[in-house]
Amino acid sequence: MIDKFVRSAAEALDGVPDGATVLLAGFGDVGMAMTLLEGLIEQGARDLVLVCNSGGRDGSAVARLLTLGRVRKLVCSFVRPASDAGRLIAAGKLEFEVVPQGTLAERIRAAGAGIPAFYTPTAADTVLAEDREVREIGGRLCLLEYPLAGDLALVDAWEADRWGNLTYRDTQRNFNPIMAMAAKRTVAQTKHAVELGAIPPEHVMTSGIFVHHVLHVPD
Amino acid sequence: MIDKFVRSAAEALDGVPDGATVLLAGFGDVGMAMTLLEGLIEQGARDLVLVCNSGGRDGSAVARLLTLGRVRKLVCSFVRPASDAGRLIAAGKLEFEVVPQGTLAERIRAAGAGIPAFYTPTAADTVLAEDREVREIGGRLCLLEYPLAGDLALVDAWEADRWGNLTYRDTQRNFNPIMAMAAKRTVAQTKHAVELGAIPPEHVMTSGIFVHHVLHVPD
Amino acid sequence: MADSFIPLDRDGMAARAARDIPEGWVVNLGIGIPTEVANFIPADREVIIHSENGVIGAGPAPAPEAVNPYLVNAGTQPITLVRGAAYVHHADSFAIARGGHLDLTVLGAFEVSETGDIANWARAAHEPVAQIGGAMDLAIGAKRLWVIMEHTTKEGGSRLRRQCSYPLTAKGTVKRVFTNLAVLDVTPRGFVVRDIIPGLSFEDLQARTEAVLYRD
Amino acid sequence: MADSFIPLDRDGMAARAARDIPEGWVVNLGIGIPTEVANFIPADREVIIHSENGVIGAGPAPAPEAVNPYLVNAGTQPITLVRGAAYVHHADSFAIARGGHLDLTVLGAFEVSETGDIANWARAAHEPVAQIGGAMDLAIGAKRLWVIMEHTTKEGGSRLRRQCSYPLTAKGTVKRVFTNLAVLDVTPRGFVVRDIIPGLSFEDLQARTEAVLYRD
């Protein structure tokens, strides 16, 4: 019987190695797997590459992971200069790759979809294209982009069953479905654990085939 | 008030020009907008480029459109030699571009997503890659592919509201969501017309922003 | 006479932009004043607000006691939904932006050039820290891009320029600019003035603008 | 002695392949004999069947009176779902195939080469009409590709070859071949025989095979 439920974040994150690339979903705090992120802080892996939408607010779990010096490189679309992440970057203590948000999403999607590279007009006319491969397609300058795959994805769900089928509530969805597909190991925390079959097949938002471990985190 | 419902296939398809590229969803008959396809046959546009998964069975509406000589070029993944489509192609009366099914889906998706080109390993090692641009990425040969956009998409839905929000039933879904996003003009036929708001926001499968006209076709 | 006009405030600029949005448009409103445009669209005019964190059909802010912590907009502010709304994931949300499915994007900016370039994310080309978010995708993808911004900087410098002095967000994509002094279209000739606030002359407006202005 | 063996029939080949599929795998089964593999997976072994028209968790064929015309597999045959199933659209379905999310794909073929090339869609390089479907995507994307086919053609020609004589579906991706005579793994050395049907010797098998065979 397939049963992906684990009893603790420690069990879900056992063996995450130093140097891992971690895909962390969420837009602000919404849709961010807080218990798993705390678990990753506990777990101790270092030298991480963290892929998420933003550098986080001061006091947030993301900021804590960063200020603990556990992240070598941050890949995201948005960092406030006046934030822990911003200060670490400005001080040269954190590598930083800024990626426009749509390109970030599409690169993650490409990793999950087996697309080895794609072109996009986004940022092709900007300083972000400096020293990078561009190409005119249909009269429009485009930038070549590569997938962003994770060793680990941390996903925040509303419901999950033992196969790892997931639903999301409202804008909790954001990066979760595409990150779930883009990592070698996808761990989901869920508010509600439901029976297999309780989620109608039309309404599954992330299929369990993308999910390796599920942690039930009720209120 | 936004109201995309039309009273007839003729109204929905008014003005489709000769030479139009038509995206026709469906896998076999499932998820194919039969009333709209019949409407297109009635409407009379010629010299069409038809993009759909297969060349259709003899006696089908697709085969009829083809044998009426209304299609200049067929773009699909699968044609039986012993079929109307197969005989027209073999006789040189129908141009034919064969596209692996996953690449077909991804090219349509790229058109809707504003991706001007992408690489895929699919078919890169095959005769389909002859005289085409290939590139090694990560040690793997990949083929450059371009979007497949439509002037018109014909979509088959289960439910629709006046904004054009759609749901699909079971495997009716197939190419419908991606084709709906990939055309200048998307026309949906729906089994059920529902009130705006009747489809929960989590369960809308194609947003009305991609849909231009809806025709209610109950049994 | 130069003191006899009253520049529009934030609400005034948002209201002026809202006037130009017809029923049925799908619109993304950037962070800041653009977000406030939604407050000035008449309730009976159906305009569909896209928020790039995955909302199609965003509604107004909820009453404080009715906040749903799972439902925010691109500024992470609590919102509501309108009837007919839908959710999508982030890749689909930016497929909407990049794929040309937005009738309109409205962004704030530091500068706009007379060729429609927009600069709205950095004040120096190679700042170590960058706040780009979704602006570059939104700026290149919509059918039309409008900008709302003060006509001049606090120091009186013109934000409407021959060329942007700040790093670009996108090139040649701005179609219309709403400032606290005027409404201007970006045309092949350059900025064409469509509207000036009462009490300000075309010449007064030109005096406050680096780029050359053309009459409608 | 060469007549003392009984080659596997279609069911026999499907059953043999099913034996090697462990619980928890996500599997795509091609049209033809591969589809029948599902019939031989024990009911208590949870294997998740993907069908490229958008099903994750396909179940067996329904009773004739219970056919749901909206629910078909990649062969457009009516199917049922298992508990825990989900639907996706075509682009997501092939993201599963191309993106490496299938533990296994099982396809039929005309030929397989000793380097794992597969030819299963055409008998001449430039036939005007082509029946490719999803085979090329499935053949390049899965974690492992198995093939089920007769060991020889009706004329007795070997389907296990040094090089494929037909146009390729994909290059170097086949890992295991189930024929009516044997089970063979594609290894860096070439075909290694894992299993031969009773009554047939290694030498007899080699005599029916163009490619060089290696013992396990």
pLDDT of residue D124: 82
Contact B162, B3 (CB under 8 A): yes
Q: Are B140 and D158 in contact (CB under 8 A)?
A: no
SS3 B38: helix
Q: For chain D, what is the domain count? A: 1
Beta bridge mates, B140: B137
- Would you say residue B98 has pLDDT above 70? yes
**What pLDDT does residue A187 have?**
98
pLDDT of residue D1: 46
Give the pLDDT of residue D11: 97
Render each residue's pLDDT in chain A as its tens digit; 219 residues: 999 999 999 999 999 999 999 999 999 999 999 999 999 999 999 999 999 999 999 999 999 999 999 999 999 999 999 999 999 999 999 999 999 999 999 999 999 999 999 999 999 999 999 999 999 999 999 999 999 999 999 999 999 999 999 999 999 999 999 999 999 999 999 999 999 999 999 999 999 999 999 999 998
Pairing verdict, β D174-178 and D182-186: antiparallel
Q: Are the Cβ atoms of D85 and A2 closer than 8 angstroms?
A: no
How much is the pLDDT for D176?
98
Q: Tell me whether A113 touches chain C (CB under 8 Å).
A: no
* Cβ distance of A28 and C69 shorter than 8 Å: no
ipTM given for this complex: 0.97
- CA distances D196 to B3, B204, C11, C38, D216, Å, are 67, 53, 81, 72, 11
What the block records as the tokens of D40 is: 């031989």
Q: Which residues pair with C50 in a beta bridge?
A: C28, C56
d(CA C31, CA C108): 7
Residue D84 lies inside a defined structural domain of this protein: yes
CA atoms within a 13 Å half-sphere pointing along the CA-CB vector of C31: 15
Between C43 and D188, the more confident residue is: D188
> Is residue C1 domain-resident?
no
Tokens of D141: 């994307």
Look at residue C47 and tell me if it is in a domain: yes
What lies within 8 Å, CB to CB, of A200 at 6+ separation is none
**Token pair of D98 as six digits:** 């191309």
Q: What is the per-residue pLDDT for B19? A: 98
Determine the residue of chain D that is closest to B54 in CA distance.
D133
Percentage of residues in chain D with pLDDT exceeding 90?
92
pLDDT at C3: 64
Mean pLDDT of B112-129: 97
pLDDT band at B13 (very low <50, low <70, confident <90, very high): very high
Chain A residues closer than 8 Å to B137 by CB: 116-117, 146
> Does A198 contact chain D (CB < 8 Å)?
no
Quote the domain boundaries for residue D137: 10-215
Does residue D12 have a pLDDT over 60? Answer: yes
In degrees, rounded to 5, the angle at the alpha carbon of residue D67 between the alpha carbons of residues B104 and D9 is 75
Taking the Cβ of residue A194 and every Cβ of chain D, the question of whether any pair is shorter than 8 Å is answered with: no
The answer to whether position D5 is within a domain reads no
Which candidate in D23, D36, D46, D52 is catalytic? D52
- Residue D181 domain-assigned (yes or no): yes
Contacts of A122 in chain C (CB under 8 A): 98, 136-137, 140-141
Provide Rg for chain B, Cα atoms.
18
Neighbours of D95 (CB within 10 A): 27
For chain C, 216 residues long, give each residue's pLDDT as a single digit of tens.
Answer: 456 899 999 999 999 999 999 999 999 999 989 999 999 999 899 999 999 999 999 999 999 999 999 999 999 999 999 999 999 999 999 999 999 999 999 999 999 999 999 999 988 877 888 889 999 999 999 999 999 999 999 999 999 999 999 999 999 999 999 999 999 999 999 999 999 999 999 999 999 999 999 998
pLDDT given at position C128: 80
Q: Catalytic residue, from C23, C36, C52, C150: name it.
A: C52
Q: How many C-beta atoms surround the C-beta of residue B218 within 10 A?
A: 7
* Mutant choice from A103, A118, A136 vs B, greatest count of B C-beta within 10 A: A118
CA nearest B188: which of B14, B32, B2?
B32
CA gap C92, A30 in Å, rounded? 18
Average per-residue pLDDT for chain B: 97
DSSP single-letter state for residue D186: E
- pLDDT category of residue D3 using cuts at 50, 70 and 90: low
The H or E element containing residue D53 is none
D150 catalytic residue (yes or no): no
The three-class DSSP label of residue B13 is coil
The pLDDT score that the predictor gives to residue B69 is: 96
| pLDDT on residue D165 | 95
How far lies C98's CA from each of A57, B92, B191, C93, C104, in Å? 28, 39, 31, 9, 12
Report all structural domains of chain A as residue ranges with CATH numbers, in order of start. 18-99+148-196 (3.40.1080.10)
Q: What is the pLDDT of residue C125?
A: 76
**D2 domain-assigned:** no
CATH assignment at residue D29: 3.40.1080.10
Count Cα neighbours of B169 within 13 Å in the Cβ-side half-sphere. Answer: 14
In this predicted structure, what is the pLDDT of residue B115? Answer: 98
> Residue A11: its pLDDT value, please?
98
**Chain C adjacent subunits, 3+ CB pairs under 8 A:** A, B
Q: Say what the pLDDT of residue B164 is.
A: 98
| In contact, D56 and D76? CB cutoff 8 Å | no
Does C59 reside within a domain?
A: yes
8-state DSSP, D143: S
- C-alpha B191/C-alpha B215 separation (Å) is 9
pLDDT value of residue C1:
47
> What is the C-alpha separation between D208 and D131, in angstroms, rounded?
29
Give the span between the Cα atoms of D213 and D193, in whole angstroms: 7
In 3D space, the residue among D140, D129, D54, D103 whose CA is nearest the CA of residue B105 turns out to be: D54
Mean pLDDT within D197-204:
96
Q: Does D1 map to a domain?
A: no
Instruction: Report pLDDT for C86.
Output: 98
Give the pLDDT of residue C48.
98
> Full-prediction pTM beyond 0.95?
yes
How far apart CA C77 and CA A184 sit, in angstroms, is 33
Q: How far is CA A105 from CA A39, A111, A172, D147, in A?
A: 25, 10, 15, 36
Q: pLDDT grade, residue B30 (50/70/90)?
A: very high
Which among A90, A106, A177 is the nearest to C128, CB-wise? A90
